[in-house]
Amino acid sequence: MARYGYARVSTDMQSVDAQLPALEAEKLDMVFVETVSGAVPARERPVLASLLDRLQPDDSLVVVRLDRLGRDAIDMLQLVSALDARDIRVRILSLGIETGTANGRLFLTILMAIAEFERELIRERTRAGIAAARAAGRRIGRPRALTSAQTRHVKALAAQGLSIRDIASVMNVGRATVHRALQGEAGPQRAGQSSSAAA
């Protein structure tokens, strides 16, 4: 049963000195230190990813503060829940909480509620943003991959007998984009199917 510490700072200008004494007092087997922005999701942090790969069932991960582990409640909940499912305990020194205990289970329940609240806020903001964009007459969704002129060029190349693969290579786009350009307003067709056959 190994015990590992994790300390994170956002920039090289910051120091982990405030976190290390508390971690060293825990008599850990090893402390991992990372300099990465808090905006980076937990799974995309190389040092943390290396630590997560090392952890085994019954091991413990110790952090000074919960925000060292994730960018928001959703990110932290995903990480803590995944570790809990692997029988790995997370100890948060500033809160005096360790998952796997009654207090830890209560904490996870509260964190789940906060994460769900954050998800709902994101959904509400997204819906409000879409409604405002539509009201302003802006197009919703991904921008078109090809301009009208490029679409005409795709159709001209197809009329010359070039394959979809060759057209995609010439235009430097995916084959699906070429398919959509050739279908135009006619709707989806299967590859090799003509408009008359589709009718």
Domain boundaries, the chain: 3-112, 148-190
Q: pLDDT tens for residues 27-81?
A: 999 999 998 888 888 889 999 999 999 999 999 999 999 888 887 888 888 899 8
Where is 153: in which H helix or E strand?
Answer: helix 148-159
Question: For the chain, what percentages of helix, strand and coil (3-state, to nearest 5) are there?
Answer: 55, 10, 35
pLDDT bin (cut points 50, 70, 90) of residue 12 is low
Q: Is the pTM of this model over 0.85?
A: no
At 107-159, the pLDDT tens digits run: 888 888 888 888 888 889 888 988 888 888 887 766 667 888 889 889 999 99
Does the pLDDT value for residue 11 go beyond 80? no
Catalytic residue flag (residue 37): no
Asked if pLDDT for residue 192 goes beyond 50, the answer is no
pLDDT of residue 32: 95
CATH number of 148-190: 1.10.10
**Cβ neighbours of residue 88 under 8 Å, at least 6 residues apart?**
55, 56, 57, 58, 59, 60, 61
Catalytic residue selected from 10, 15, 50, 195: 10
CATH superfamily membership of 3-112: Resolvase, N-terminal catalytic domain (3.40.50.1390)
